[in-house]
Structure 1
């Protein structure tokens, strides 16, 4: 039986879009952009707006910070306690156009040795977990190769 692809958090990205991007929201009154998305009111304390539009966020940004996760995180993170823990790399990426920092895991195979503050990275689709019925999709960050 084929498994269903499901986003880990519905509405945060379109897993089937040809131009894979995170989806935020933007206040019509003040222009502030939010991720994770906000659908009820503007989180800008200087604005009382409540009209928000969905906006795709930049696909590229620069490394603001990074670290490696060498511990098994608590629930709701899914991991098999009978399997050896594999460290993963976390990347905080600054999106200049949106004036925000977005956290995410690095793409498979990317380690802290592959990253540097200020280096350019791009958003790529990823898989967080798989079970008998679902493939749980997410986003990842991957260094942009120098041209």
Structure 2
């Protein structure tokens, strides 16, 4: 888990971002030192909980094993996955993430509602690295 990027689990799972107190720009991943808006010189940022739902802005499937730092076991066959870009209207940002397991490009359409859910990035005998996934709203795993 990347500290400070999300909190909670199940229906309480939320991505965490930051908002500039001066220009109201929202950032994810979070920014803790300065406003990334080139027109703003503020450094006053507050943590915010991002919307759990948004609209699919774009999506694609990944049919190749990406290079490091992506973690995958070279001894196992490659498993393609789906990437979804979701627009969060209230925050006026687009957040990219993997689709929840079992979601395929055939399940998606631009403009449909999607929700953020907890997911597993990688696990071994000692550690489970958590992340976020997107899935069509109302679909249960």
TM range (shorter): over 0.9
Q: Which runs of 4+ in 1 moved over 3 A?
A: 15-18
Q: 2:52 aligns with which of 49, 59, 78?
A: 59
On the 8 A contact 1:15/1:137 being kept in 2, the answer is no
* Consecutive unaligned residues in structure 2, runs of 5 or more: none
In the alignment, structure 1 residue 134 sits paired with structure 2 residue 134? no
CA distance in 2, matches of 1:17, 1:114: 21
Q: How many residues align?
A: 139
Deviation at 1:19?
A: 1.6
The aligned counterpart of 1:47 is 40
Please, which moves more after superposition, 115-124 or 13-22?
13-22
Map 1:31-46 onto structure 2 (within 5 A).
Answer: 31-46=24-39
On the 8 A contact 1:104/1:140 being kept in 2, the answer is yes
Deviation at 1:145?
A: 3.3
CA distance in 2, matches of 1:45, 1:76: 29
Query: CA 1:31 to 1:17, structure 2 compared with 1: closer, same or farther past 3 Å?
Result: farther
The aligned counterpart of 2:13 is 20
* TM-score, scaled relative to structure 2: 0.94
RMSD: 1.4
* TM-score, scaled relative to structure 1: 0.90
* Consecutive unaligned residues in structure 1, runs of 5 or more: 1-6
